[in-house]
Amino acid sequence: MKVVRQWIESAIGLVYPRNCLFCSTALAEQERGVICAACLSTVRQIEAPFCQQCASPFAGAVSDSFVCGYCQDLRFAFTRTVCGCRAEGIVRESIHRFKYNREMYLGPHLAEWLIEAARQWIDWQTVDAIVPVPLHPRKKRDREFNQAEYLSAALSRHFDRPVFDGQLRRVKDTVTQTALDAEQRDRNLRNAFTARRTDVFEGKRLALVDDVFTTGATLNSCAKVLRRAGARSVIALAVARGM
């Protein structure tokens, strides 16, 4: 079957040559996905040292784990945050096009950036299950999918952990967070989430997944519900860190 699939892909490539989505360079046969190696090399991964609470990278020579000045006065319901890369350039555009334009062929790239960070910074022996940040039903109908569910499924396949899909619900149809500041985001998300069944989360160590971490308001609102439902711990996990 693998040989047949490769032959079909090669035949399709003769008729519809594969080009990089961002620079239009022809992709080599061994290159998977829709972004060329040169464009992928521009992705800036989140590398240590970075804030344990918000994953914001730090330029100084810090060897121990630390909490940045922004987070020192904040109390998050999740224990720490892991992000794959900075939300800029092709990363930001890939997320936007995947989420709002349904350009699903970008999904594997987003999943790869997330999985790489999750492999490097999380001990999956200490995680019992994965929870995607939910969309409101109306928004999910409009978008036709939930990007956090897609990413959670990719993590589940790679790290062999179950996804608690549908157990965390979004019950408030909030306005988009894009133009709001941190305080407005918190107010916007007040009472936006609820647990379908609290016994599902009781005593569990959870990885909470979203596409972007900006102020942490969405992930924190979800983590509060999970902790109230009895979760033992929650790690926030996102593809990109808004800068």
| DSSP class per residue in 84-136 | EEES-HHHHHHHHHHHHH--GGGHHHHHHHHHHHHHHH--GGG--EEEEPPPP
What's the rounded Cα separation, in Å, for the pair 131 and 122? 15
Residues 12-45: pLDDT tens digits?
444 345 899 999 999 988 888 999 999 999 999 9
- Does residue 223 surpass a pLDDT of 70? yes
Q: Across the strands, what pairs with 131?
A: 208
CB-CB contact of 134 with 193 (8 Å): yes
Task: Indicate the pLDDT class of residue 179, thresholds 50, 70 and 90.
Answer: low
For the chain, domain boundaries: 1-41, 44-241
pTM score, whole prediction: 0.87
What letter would DSSP give residue 194? E
Domain covering 44-241: architecture: 3-Layer(aba) Sandwich (3.40)
Residues 56-91: pLDDT tens digits?
998 766 667 788 888 888 889 999 999 999 999 999
Select the highest-mean-pLDDT range: 101-105, 185-189, 231-235: 231-235
